[in-house]
Every structure is written in C-alpha cells, then in structure tokens.
Amino acid sequence: MVADWAIGNMTCEEAGKNSSDYACKSSNSKCYEPNNGSGYRCSCLEGYQGNPYLVQGYIDECELGKCPHDCRNTNGNYTCLCPKGYHGDGENCSPGESLILKLVAGISMAIIILLLVAFLLYWEHKRRSFNKMKQKFFLQNGGTLLQEKLHARGRSPESVKIFTSFELRKATNDFNNSMIVGQGGFGTVYKGLLPDNSIVAIKKSKNVDPNQVEQFINEAPGCCLETEVPLLVYEFISNGTLSSHIHNQARARFLSWDIRLKIAAEAAGVLSYLHSAAATPIIHRDVKSDNILLDHSFTAKVSDFGASRLVPLDHTQLSTVVQGTLGYLDPEYMQTSQLTEKSDVYSFGVVLLELLTGRRAIIFDKPEDEKNLAYFFLSVLKQERLFQVLDDNIWVMIKVLGNR
C-alpha cells in the first residue's frame, strides 16, 4: 500500500502568496505539486539536506566537524580553509615557509633572551660573591680595626688611603712583570701609576701573619684590604736601594763620606724609633742594604717590614722561627731562635761595614775566611789592616781632603 499526500488544495503559486501559511519555510527549499490530486509539497534544493518545512531545517556542514580549521558554510556545501601562514586543502594543513622562519626566529630569540638572562644572573651571582669575598678579606685584614684606630686618634679616613683591588691592578697593569721593581723572600714590590699621575710602590706579600695586622695598619700610608693578603702602598723612592749604590762602581763614587754618614745616621734613627719610641716596640728582622731606600737627595728610608715582629712591653725577646737574609743574621739569633733588638743592631752593623768597605755581606766565590763580611772585618781589625779594606771611593775622598 502506498500513501500519497499533499498540503492543502492550493497550487504552489497560490500558497506562496500567503507567507504566513506557506509550508516551505526554509529559504533553501522549493515547492512542487504532486502528480495526483491537488495541494503542494516542499523539498530541499539540490545540494541541501534536512527538513524543508523548518526555517533552520537544513544541516550546517561546518557543524559536522569535518573541517578542523576555518570552515565557511556555502549553499549545499562548505569551504575549509587553512589558518594564516599554513597551506593545504583546509583539512590537512602544513606550515608555510614564512611561518617556519618566524618560528625559527622566535625560538632563536627566546634562546638568546634565556642565555642573556642566565648570563646576567650568573654575573650578578659572581659580583655578589666577589663583594662578599672582598668584605671578608677587608674584615680579616683589619679594616674595622683601621677605622676604629683612626676614629680613636681623631684622624680623618683620608690620612690612610685605602685603595680598591681594581685601582691597584690598574695602577700596575694587572701586576705585570714589567712593573716589578724589587723581589724578596717576603714578597714582590711593583711600581704603580695612580690616576693623579703620582707614582707609588706597591708591596704584594707572599703571606701575612694575622697577628701583624695592627702593625702594618700603623706603618703603611696606604693599603688595600680587599685581597687575601693585604697590599701595602708606599711612596715610590726613585733613587733605588742603598745596595744598588754601594755595589755599583759608577754610582758608588757619588756616595761621599758625608752622604754615607748621613745615610747611616738616618737608618739608625729609624731603628731607634722602632725599638724605643713606637707605641709597641718593633723588631724589623730583615735590616739590610737592599731594604734601605734612597730618594733623590739620598735621604734614607727603611722599608720591607714583612718579617718584622711586635714586641710586647713586658718582653725583651721573642721565640720565633729564624728569618732574615744570610750574611745579616745575628749568629746568636740563628743558634737560639731568640729574637731581640740586638738582632737588628747586628744586621745594621753589617750595613755599616758595606758602607765602609763596598763589599757585599756574603761573597760565595771568595776564600773561606773572606766569604762573610762580618767575620772578615773582625779578622782584618785583629791584623790592623783596616785601611786596606776601605772602599776605594772613600780612599779617593780621603786623598782629596788631604790635598786641601
């Protein structure tokens, strides 16, 4: 049995005139008249599916989810488009070259930024660690003690110049070997040029006794406390050491008898101050002609306190490991390790012998009885041959004076 049906008894043309009762509601529908009987029916336009009797009775193909990207519904169909920067049929899209370049550029920029941030964080960490280390050394090397002493004595902080490690590295061209003006068992002395064009001597010790911190605070006109071992800054004495004058024939002839006496008296005055006038007596422990500096007017300045020791007021001697320079060492100190002021006096006596004879404290290529200047001089005195060992330059001066 086959059922046949139609809407009303009007034709499509007649029904379309009354829009409120017209059954073909969808704009994508059409009206047709059945072959048998009166009335009309509705059907979908070609390419459309759904219910032609409803306003929204047709399927939106974009809602079927066949297009994963940009879907645009069309009459009876749909168009699928790729996102900007991609290419393909809309359902299968792949990045275009410009997008790949943008992605590569973006990732590269992100990596660069991350590396830059990491570097800045690392640099900041190193800077803070370096500052903490400098602060640690500053306290360890007596920075607080220096400030307290200056305050207690009513002295301004400018009375002792405290340099930064950067300033002294710059002054010495990062402690370049070409700036070395002296080396010894206790450290190296560099010539430094400060920003104001003043020339200084910078002593870089090999080590420092923590018990001696107060001493160099008292003695050094300038220092750097930010390094593991304090750097001491002194006035640069341009005329070299006493040793460089005595043991150089070309320079020794300028050391007149009066100048030699002047040098001896000034050096003796320094030792007298250290032993008797300083608040706490100081034993230099390395008095020698290499540690007596001369300025352009031959004024003597005793230097290199790296081996020196403070002597408590209630002590006359100290038990220490023997230190000093061969030829200048007090024999009693060498045998007993008991350091006294007399040890400096003995060493200074050897310096006086150098001024008189022009000979070095130790000469290894001499006969055994002439190697040690002190022992040799004693034997010469016993033999009453003093005038035979005087410096030739002194003899010349004696003859000049005798002819006047």
| DSSP assignments along 35-91, one per residue | SSSS-BEEEEPTT--B-TTSTT-B--GGGGT--SSEEEEETTEEEEEPPTTEEESSS
Q: Which residue has the tokens 């422990």?
A: 285
Structural domain contains residue 192: yes
Q: Tally the C-alpha atoms within 13 A of residue 212's C-alpha that lie toward its C-beta.
A: 18
Percent above pLDDT 70 for the chain: 75
Does residue 272 or residue 64 have the better pLDDT?
272
Structural domain contains residue 216: yes
Give the integer Cα–Cα distance in Å for 137 and 230.
8
pLDDT at 347 > cutoff 90: yes
The dihedral formed by the CA atoms of 254, 260, 265 and 269, expressed in degrees to the nearest 10: 60
pLDDT at 153 > cutoff 80: no
Structural domain contains residue 115: no
**Of the candidates 297, 301, 281, 278, which has an alpha carbon nearest to the alpha carbon of residue 289?**
301
Give the integer Cα–Cα distance in Å for 48 and 30.
11
**Single residue among 27, 55, 82 that ends a domain in this structure:** 82
* Number of other residues whose CB lies within 10 A of the CB of residue 132: 10
pLDDT at 255 > cutoff 80: yes
262 is in an annotated binding site: no
Structural domain contains residue 95: no
- Residues 173, 102: contact at Cβ < 8 Å? no
Residues 260 and 302 in one domain: yes
- Residues 203, 188: contact at Cβ < 8 Å? yes
Beta bridge partners of 372: 362
Helix ranges, 153-256 (H): 165-171, 213-219, 242-246, 249-252
Is residue 188 classed as helix, strand or coil in its secondary structure?
strand
Q: CATH number of the domain at 49, please.
A: 2.10.25
Residues 179 and 242 in one domain: no
Does residue 170 or residue 147 have the better pLDDT?
170
pLDDT at 5 > cutoff 90: no
pLDDT at 220 > cutoff 80: no
pLDDT at 350 > cutoff 90: yes
236 — pLDDT class (breaks 50, 70, 90): confident
Q: How high is the pLDDT of residue 283?
A: 84
Q: How high is the pLDDT of residue 137?
A: 62
48 — pLDDT class (breaks 50, 70, 90): confident
pLDDT at 394 > cutoff 90: no
Does residue 348 or residue 204 have the better pLDDT?
348
219 — pLDDT class (breaks 50, 70, 90): low
Residues 282 and 146 in one domain: no
Structural domain contains residue 342: yes
Structural domain contains residue 253: yes
Q: How high is the pLDDT of residue 84?
A: 75
**Single residue among 235, 265, 286 that ends a domain in this structure:** 235
Does residue 280 or residue 190 have the better pLDDT?
190
Tens of pLDDT, residue by residue over 285-335, are 889 999 898 988 999 988 877 677 776 655 556 667 777 888 999 998 888
- Residues 200, 128: contact at Cβ < 8 Å? no
Residues 357 and 268 in one domain: yes
Q: Which domain holds residue 53?
A: 12-82
Structural domain contains residue 267: yes
Residues 336 and 381 in one domain: yes
Q: How high is the pLDDT of residue 204?
A: 78
Residues 140 and 216 in one domain: yes
Determine the average pLDDT of the residues in 60-70: 72
- Residues 19, 55: contact at Cβ < 8 Å? no
- Residues 203, 189: contact at Cβ < 8 Å? yes
Determine the average pLDDT of the residues in 350-368: 91
Residues 216 and 331 in one domain: no
Residues 337 and 402 in one domain: yes
Which range scores top for mean pLDDT: 139-143, 245-249, 385-389? Answer: 245-249
Q: Kindly report the pTM of this predicted structure.
A: 0.56
Q: CATH number of the domain at 159, please.
A: 3.30.200.20
Contacts of 91 by beta carbon, 8 Å cutoff, 6+ apart: 66, 67, 68, 69, 80
Count of domains forming the chain: 3
Structural domain contains residue 112: no
Which range scores top for mean pLDDT: 14-28, 319-333, 361-375? Answer: 361-375
Q: Which residues are catalytic?
A: 286
Q: How high is the pLDDT of residue 261?
A: 93
Residues 221 and 329 in one domain: no
Tens of pLDDT, residue by residue over 87-127, are 776 677 777 666 667 777 888 899 999 999 999 988 888 88
Q: How high is the pLDDT of residue 386?
A: 82
Residues 363 and 301 in one domain: yes
Q: Tokens standing for 159?
A: 């009375």
Q: How high is the pLDDT of residue 218?
A: 52
pLDDT at 149 > cutoff 70: no
Q: CATH number of the domain at 271, please.
A: 1.10.510.10
Q: Worst-scoring range by mean pLDDT, 35-49, 163-177, 205-219, 318-332? A: 205-219
What stretch of H or E contains 135? helix 97-140
**Single residue among 82, 100, 135 that ends a domain in this structure:** 82
Percent above pLDDT 90 for the chain: 17
Does residue 270 or residue 209 have the better pLDDT?
270
Residues 208 and 280 in one domain: no
265 — pLDDT class (breaks 50, 70, 90): very high
pLDDT at 212 > cutoff 70: no
Determine the average pLDDT of the residues in 60-81: 73
Residues 310 and 374 in one domain: yes
